[in-house]
Structure formats: structure tokens, C-alpha cells
Amino acid sequence: MATSGSVPTTPLLKDELDIVIPTIRNLDFLEMWRPFFQPYHLIIVQDGDPTRTIHVPEGFDYELYNRNDINRILGPKASCISFKDSACRCFGYMVSKKKYIYTIDDDCFVAKDPSGKQINALEQHIKNLLCPSTPFFFNTLYDPYREGADFVRGYPFSLREGAKTAISHGLWMNIPDYDAPTQMVKPLERNTRYVDAVMTIPKGTLFPMCGMNLAFDRELIGPAMYFGLMGDGQPIGRYDDMWAGWCMKVICDHLGLGVKTGLPYIWHSKASNPFVNLKKEYKGIFWQEEIIPFFQASTLSKEHDTVQKCYNELAKQVKENLGKLDPYFVKLADAMVTWIEAWDELNPTASASTATAATNGPAKK
């Protein structure tokens, strides 16, 4: 594995990875990322007013979709894609043709490591995805495949090949990803601790997946990365990535795929308004107390041997078990099914022709 050094002449996975960015404001943040992102193809998902023009900095190769494009491409199925919420980003996952996705928020910038060097977050995510995970047994020296580390004494040898990595979950310096109550209680807290580790989240353990700095193997887990119904017309917000993360983890555990968390860090610059956040999260604060036990208890069987089958089964269970909590979950379960239908339509299996590939939005370079 290459040591972290200068940006390689041919960036890893240059033609195999898309960077998906939801935005409602602007893409100025891309300037700082240019040295690391420019070789890659971008998929911009423009939220909010479709008549507004989002300017993409010169020199980037991209496709851009606004709400009109989403409606045109998906037709009635567009109902599963959120509006006025960054959850709409998952449309970008669906239309991508690449094996890997990296998604980042437009208020996330390049961080520095403790030596003062700029962190190439994308490069680290790629390293994480390309090397195995170890979900079945905890390694006390964290990622055993990292340079200078290994499996420790007592780690079963038969488990040292690891499992394929589906997700690489990065973290954030500066403004931490706190919920509204915590933001209100600790408005001054900043994350200044650089934890130099990548680790696998063990099988059977759920976690709060943040979509701000996230990469995944679209071929392994893409259909499970639906970010739910949030924003306009919905009773909840700021649970999009959480929802995707819980579904994804249950499915990864079932299919024997790995989920990593830790490095890389990005610099999160913008603290969202805690009052606005509280309104969005309010119902979620209560609902998550039921949602978590639901996911912890959810089981999938041998017949659920693809991500889509797992996901459809989960949708059924959501309707059955969470539907009584609130009608929202019935709507969400239906949207989950719609998402899979849309995914399969836009991503037919290899034997089908490419004629059904989505037409790109008008603003394509």
C-alpha cells in the first residue's frame, strides 16, 4: 500500500469513482479541493429552485441534475427523492455508472493532519475501500492492513483475510456532527482531536452514519444507500444518512461486507442553526428510540442474497413494525420499494443493453 505522500500522477480509480455533491447554494468549496478532485468526474445534485444556475468552477468534469431533471428521469418514481434536503444526493448514487462513490457536503474543506500537511481525503477513502475489513473480531491495533500495523496475538488466523469493504466513513475536524440538543448545550465545542486510526465497525453493531464525508462501493452496497424521505413535505429531517446507515449496516452484516470508520478527516466549516435543526430532528429524537431496537432485532434470511432483496425485505419489515409508530414509516417503506425499482431500472444487470441509461441533465460538461 502506498504511503501517504504526494498526489500520484494517475490518481487511484480515476475512471471508477464519481464524486456526488448535493448543493443548494454554490460550489465554491471545490476550489480548495481542486488538487485532489479535478481528475474525477463529479455528479452535482442541485436541490431547491431548479431555475437557479449553480456555477461549477472551471476545469471540472461533471454532470448536474436539478429537480426538473430528477422528475424527468424518474417520472412518478421521483417521489422517493427528497426535496429541500441534502438527502436528494442519493439520486446521484443511482445515476452514476461507476463502481465507487465519494460524497461530500459543500461546507467541507481540506483539513490538515498534525504535521500540518493537507489531507487528501479521497485518497484515504480509496485506500480504505480497496483493502479488506475485519468485522468478525476486533483488532486492538485497529486496521491491521495499515503500514506499521498488523493483527495482534490472539487474532484467529482464519479471519485474517478479512471481508470486502463496502463503506468508508470519514470524520470531521472543527464543527462536529452533533444533534440539535448537543449543539444547543455545547455551542462552542470543536473537534480538535485527530485520531490516527481506521477501524472496522464490528458485525452486529450499529452506528450513526454521517453523509458529509463518505465513500462506498456502489456495486457492493449501492442500492442500500437510499437516504429516505426528508425535507419538504416530510415530518423529519437530518435523519437521511442515519437511516441509510442503519439499513446499510444490517445488510452488510448479513452479506458479510465490511464498514470502516475513522480517517480521513475533512474540515467542517459551517455549524447549522440549532433551532432549525431541532425542528427537523424533533420527531426523530423520539422515533429513533424505536427505530434502533427495530434495526438491532431485524433479521434477514439466506434467500436474501442480494442487496436489493435484503432492502425490499427491510422495507416490508419497516412497514410492519414501524408503520404503527407513525404513518410516515408506511410512506417511507413504500419509498424504499420505489427506490429499488428506480435503481434497477436505471442500473439494469450487465446482460441488458445500455439503452436504458439515464439521459444526463442539460448542464453537462
Contact set with a copy of itself (CB under 8 A): 114, 137-142, 146, 148-159, 169, 171, 176-179, 181-182, 186, 189-197, 201-210, 238-239, 241-242, 245, 261, 281, 285, 288-289, 292
Measured from the CB atom, is 35 or 208 closer to a copy of itself? 208
**From the CB of 208, what's the least distance to a copy of itself, in Å?**
3
Buried b (16+ CB within 10 A) or exposed e, 64-99: bbbbebbbebbeebbbbbbbbbbbbbbbbbbbbebb
**From the CB of 86, what's the least distance to a copy of itself, in Å?**
13
Measured from the CB atom, is 137 or 328 closer to a copy of itself? 137
Measured from the CB atom, is 61 or 189 closer to a copy of itself? 189
Q: Which of 48, 20, 95 is nearest to 361 (CA)?
A: 95
Measured from the CB atom, is 61 or 286 closer to a copy of itself? 286
**From the CB of 206, what's the least distance to a copy of itself, in Å?**
6
Measured from the CB atom, is 70 or 257 closer to a copy of itself? 257
Cα angle for residues 297, 303, 307 (degrees, 5° grid) = 75
* Other Cβ atoms within 10 Å of 327 Cβ, number: 10
Residues contacting 225, CB < 8 A, separation 6+:
90, 93, 101, 216, 218, 244, 248
Q: Which three cell numbers stand for residue 210?
A: 454521517
Measured from the CB atom, is 138 or 328 closer to a copy of itself? 138
Q: Which three cell numbers stand for residue 181?
A: 440538543
Measured from the CB atom, is 190 or 365 closer to a copy of itself? 190
Q: What is the 3-state secondary structure (H, E, C) of 17-77?
A: EEEEEEECCCCCCHHHHHHHHCCCEEEEEECCCCCCCCCCCCCCEEEEECHHHHHHHHHHH
Measured from the CB atom, is 123 or 281 closer to a copy of itself? 281
Measured between alpha carbons, how far is residue 265 from residues 43, 156, 225, 229, 361 in Å? Answer: 22, 31, 21, 28, 32
Q: Nearest 5°: phi and psi at 110?
A: -75, 130
Measured between alpha carbons, how far is residue 307 from residues 220, 227, 319 in Å? Answer: 8, 15, 18
Q: Which amino acid, residue 146?
A: R
Measured from the CB atom, is 67 or 249 closer to a copy of itself? 249
**From the CB of 120, what's the least distance to a copy of itself, in Å?**
19
**From the CB of 140, what's the least distance to a copy of itself, in Å?**
5
Q: Which three cell numbers stand for residue 356?
A: 436504458
Q: Which three cell numbers stand for residue 171?
A: 470524520
**From the CB of 8, what's the least distance to a copy of itself, in Å?**
23
**From the CB of 63, what's the least distance to a copy of itself, in Å?**
30
Q: What is the 3-state secondary structure (H, E, C) of 233-246?
A: CCCCCCCHHHHHHH
**From the CB of 262, what's the least distance to a copy of itself, in Å?**
8
**From the CB of 155, what's the least distance to a copy of itself, in Å?**
5
**From the CB of 256, what's the least distance to a copy of itself, in Å?**
15
243 and 96 in contact (C-beta within 8 Å)? no
Instruction: Report the alpha-carbon distance of residue 328 to residue 286 in Å, rounded.
Output: 14
Measured from the CB atom, is 193 or 302 closer to a copy of itself? 193
